[in-house]
Structure 1
């Protein structure tokens, strides 16, 4: 197709960054103009992807590899609700006016055909809506908002059949959505400041995007779940981040266990050491990657466990028998794409939900974040011994291979740009008179 200009908007959201940049890089390789509005801490990674970085000027500037510079600091929260409130107030709703102002200023200085924003940046979406251009949002995990046909995301529940199950889900959905209400005044203040009508709920604001692309395997989500009709599952991004470096494997020929917790700081050093201790009691080789937020020199580990800051997981997983992880979406899905089963120790955020889906698929085991080394070792041993875990992981690998055989994200974004060029200049699928609604496709 003809060359188009895409403006991406993202933030220092840890594991959410590599998949967003992967889509941006793929568009650039197709000959399109691509630039990325982002925190300055991400600019080196953006440049390494061959993309042009643009700094936020009034929106928050964070660095998740440094606890002192982390905007959300959810590792300080005492409850999951407290961690959610920090995301709502410090990224999604609280600074929405700042994100909108910066996005609109960049679009006016250098117009784009399409704005592509990370799903949580509702302020950036406001900037695109004000500019009157198509907006696509990228969801870099399992779709995180309630939909019919499935339990509400977050608690990590299994589907419940029948009338009682539907009642449970209705009640819990109201409870899950209630904390969003406190973010509505700041969000609507940002909208009205830019001449846009207020929305009735924060969830309605998410639905203002013309296109929602979920960078997660449809095969990993609940089979009966129904999604908004502007949503497309386009498959996960499986390439490694630019900072992953070279792959060094531990010596020997024993089964390899890849261990990896968050790439951002989640106060995870204790869990890293427990995993290393557990692997030291098993007849395995361990490759433990600490990520940029933890110095590998500070992690105690037995001699059979190689501790390093980073390694390209897609390469290491070709040799691995099991992955031990916090169930961050990126590590979990890359493992499943390689047919490698998991032992999950969720630390927070979306990780309990991802771990539950892995467990429901039969491709892994979930443990508490405070699990002892002995219990971790027992779980790893079970996954190594019982063939059902690898069988189900390979089943998901086949499904993921089918989903990623073509680059659906790029195709959808190019189609969005083409429809806009062929129309009357308004964003496709949305008119200024349209009230936001949540429609669902089967």
Structure 2
């Protein structure tokens, strides 16, 4: 059996995918070391992995990034996003590489499997000359001649004029990356003992194997997709047993009575209640539906008085809730969106930070929901979107279709098969 390091940035959404991979590999008898922050040690121990702590890399609590990285602030807007890249993703990279190289020096490693935003693991893989694999924990952000630049607020082009637009945009972004991003990345590379490189973050994807969450149809088509990129559906582990709130039977009764159930969530990272939760509750108050809201950990009392048709809890198990849900209103975390689609639940997405606008565009493009084009929609806008999506049987039908494809893609089992093939190919 192989000795494998699974590296994950200590963000809840990243850990969800990486614990699925780590757990599957551990179940197959491999020795799995999970390299992540202290906050998520127990999550990896629970799936049979050992914990390898962040030591030289600066650890942090993803629920309060500003406590460790003040420049990030609330993480919103262009400034917050750039600070997150510079201080969190790139700033911890050299320390990550040092930790992983020290562990590989202590005892040989057969394979590195890295969250594609754990840049230090990519640097360690390049330094060691090991086979290593990237897990795309967000929508696939690899560049393509068929698409606008990753992160640019535009859908894939149609026609010659649109393709010319995308070529110009890619050239512009590449020039900006050469001036702004490459110097930061090369400082990280120098600190890890590697020579400079160009090409932005593209060079931090594995050239051996990329495991992409999602499926064709939910992800944009690319004629130049490398052969080593494989879509594996949704990577997730079953949550531990959780006590259900006393009003849970009201959800089941609503379904039996034909009353639509709408789930509203902001995930666990962007949890300012004024962004989405409060406007959604105000907009859906009095509607003929049951609203089930999760706060991402904040006390329910922080929401203020709840409308009669609203029930709320800090957390609820998606594997129990989503099969009883008709629509989800979310700020666009990729893991939550994949969970909804796999359960056949259409979406209304209001995403503004990090990868969330990319998620929202894919939701609208693929036909599984509505993109509100903002992270702070008004109550009336949410109400209209919910009414519209609930009234569209084609949206529900398309969501169920892609949900079946997500389930059929194999998830963690398919990912582990590909990783074992990579180990075998290297041995051969």
Same fold (TM over 0.5): yes
Quote the Cα distance in structure 2 between the aligned partners of 1:6 and 1:383.
44
Question: Of the candidates 90, 106, 116, which is equivalent to residue 109 of structure 1?
Answer: 106
- Partner of 2:62, secondary structure, is coil
Describe the shift of the 1:127–1:72 C-alpha distance in structure 2 as closer, same or farther (beyond 3 A).
Answer: farther
Using the TM superposition, give the Cα deviation of residue 269 of structure 1 relative to its aligned residue in structure 2, in angstroms.
Answer: 3.9
Q: Under a length normalisation based on structure 1, what TM-score does the superposition of the two structures give? A: 0.87
Question: Of the candidates 370, 385, 392, which is equivalent to residue 379 of structure 1?
Answer: 385
Question: Of the candidates 222, 232, 235, which is equivalent to residue 234 of structure 1?
Answer: 232
- Partner of 1:188, secondary structure, is helix
Using the TM superposition, give the Cα deviation of residue 362 of structure 1 relative to its aligned residue in structure 2, in angstroms.
Answer: 1.9
Q: Which runs of 5+ in 1 are unaligned?
A: 423-442
The corresponding residue for 1:282 is 287
Using the TM superposition, give the Cα deviation of residue 30 of structure 1 relative to its aligned residue in structure 2, in angstroms.
Answer: 1.1
The corresponding residue for 1:96 is 93
Deviates more, 1:317-326 or 1:221-230: 221-230
Using the TM superposition, give the Cα deviation of residue 67 of structure 1 relative to its aligned residue in structure 2, in angstroms.
Answer: 5.0
The corresponding residue for 1:340 is 345
Contact 1:141–1:216 (8 Å) recurs in 2: no
Contact 1:60–1:71 (8 Å) recurs in 2: no
The corresponding residue for 2:155 is 158
Question: Of the candidates 318, 323, 326, which is equivalent to residue 318 of structure 1?
Answer: 323
Q: Does 1:370 align with 2:367?
A: no
Using the TM superposition, give the Cα deviation of residue 74 of structure 1 relative to its aligned residue in structure 2, in angstroms.
Answer: 4.7
Quote the Cα distance in structure 1 between the aligned partners of 2:334 and 2:220.
16
Describe the shift of the 1:32–1:229 C-alpha distance in structure 2 as closer, same or farther (beyond 3 A).
Answer: same
- Partner of 1:307, secondary structure, is strand
- Partner of 1:76, secondary structure, is coil
Quote the Cα distance in structure 2 between the aligned partners of 1:71 and 1:11.
15
1:144-170 deviation per Cα after TM superposition (whole angstroms, max 9, x unaligned): 132121222323422222221111111
Deviates more, 1:156-165 or 1:320-329: 156-165
Equivalent pairs counted in the alignment come to 417
Quote the Cα distance in structure 2 between the aligned partners of 1:336 and 1:419.
34
Using the TM superposition, give the Cα deviation of residue 420 of structure 1 relative to its aligned residue in structure 2, in angstroms.
Answer: 1.9
Describe the shift of the 1:21–1:175 C-alpha distance in structure 2 as closer, same or farther (beyond 3 A).
Answer: farther
Describe the shift of the 1:152–1:194 C-alpha distance in structure 2 as closer, same or farther (beyond 3 A).
Answer: closer
Using the TM superposition, give the Cα deviation of residue 187 of structure 1 relative to its aligned residue in structure 2, in angstroms.
Answer: 3.2
Contact 1:5–1:34 (8 Å) recurs in 2: yes
Q: Does 1:169 align with 2:156?
A: no
Question: Of the candidates 30, 49, 52, which is equivalent to residue 50 of structure 2?
Answer: 52
Q: Does 1:419 align with 2:416?
A: no
Using the TM superposition, give the Cα deviation of residue 28 of structure 1 relative to its aligned residue in structure 2, in angstroms.
Answer: 0.7
- Partner of 2:61, secondary structure, is coil
Describe the shift of the 1:224–1:295 C-alpha distance in structure 2 as closer, same or farther (beyond 3 A).
Answer: same
Question: Of the candidates 298, 303, 309, which is equivalent to residue 299 of structure 1?
Answer: 303
Using the TM superposition, give the Cα deviation of residue 39 of structure 1 relative to its aligned residue in structure 2, in angstroms.
Answer: 1.0
Quote the Cα distance in structure 2 between the aligned partners of 1:204 and 1:336.
28
The corresponding residue for 1:130 is 127
- Partner of 1:159, secondary structure, is coil
- Partner of 2:135, secondary structure, is strand
Question: Of the candidates 220, 223, 245, which is equivalent to residue 222 of structure 1?
Answer: 220
Contact 1:72–1:90 (8 Å) recurs in 2: no
1:35-56 deviation per Cα after TM superposition (whole angstroms, max 9, x unaligned): 1111111113222333221111
Contact 2:271–2:295 (8 Å) recurs in 1: no
Quote the Cα distance in structure 1 between the aligned partners of 2:143 and 2:31.
35
1:124-181 deviation per Cα after TM superposition (whole angstroms, max 9, x unaligned): 2111222232111111121113212122232342222222111111122233344543
Quote the Cα distance in structure 2 between the aligned partners of 1:239 and 1:95.
27
Describe the shift of the 1:207–1:23 C-alpha distance in structure 2 as closer, same or farther (beyond 3 A).
Answer: closer
Deviates more, 1:251-260 or 1:409-418: 251-260
Contact 2:93–2:188 (8 Å) recurs in 1: yes
Quote the Cα distance in structure 2 between the aligned partners of 1:281 and 1:312.
26
Contact 1:19–1:237 (8 Å) recurs in 2: yes
Q: Which runs of 5+ in 2 are unaligned?
A: none
Quote the Cα distance in structure 2 between the aligned partners of 1:189 and 1:409.
32
Using the TM superposition, give the Cα deviation of residue 326 of structure 1 relative to its aligned residue in structure 2, in angstroms.
Answer: 0.8
Correspondence 1:126-275 to 2 at 5 A = 126-181=123-178, 182-192=180-190, 194-242=192-240, 245-248=242-245, 249=248, 251=250, 252-253=253-254, 254-275=259-280
Deviates more, 1:362-371 or 1:263-272: 263-272
Using the TM superposition, give the Cα deviation of residue 228 of structure 1 relative to its aligned residue in structure 2, in angstroms.
Answer: 2.8
Q: Does 1:16 align with 2:2?
A: no
Quote the Cα distance in structure 2 between the aligned partners of 1:391 and 1:75.
41
Quote the Cα distance in structure 1 between the aligned partners of 2:146 and 2:404.
25
Q: Under a length normalisation based on structure 2, what TM-score does the superposition of the two structures give? A: 0.90
Using the TM superposition, give the Cα deviation of residue 29 of structure 1 relative to its aligned residue in structure 2, in angstroms.
Answer: 0.9
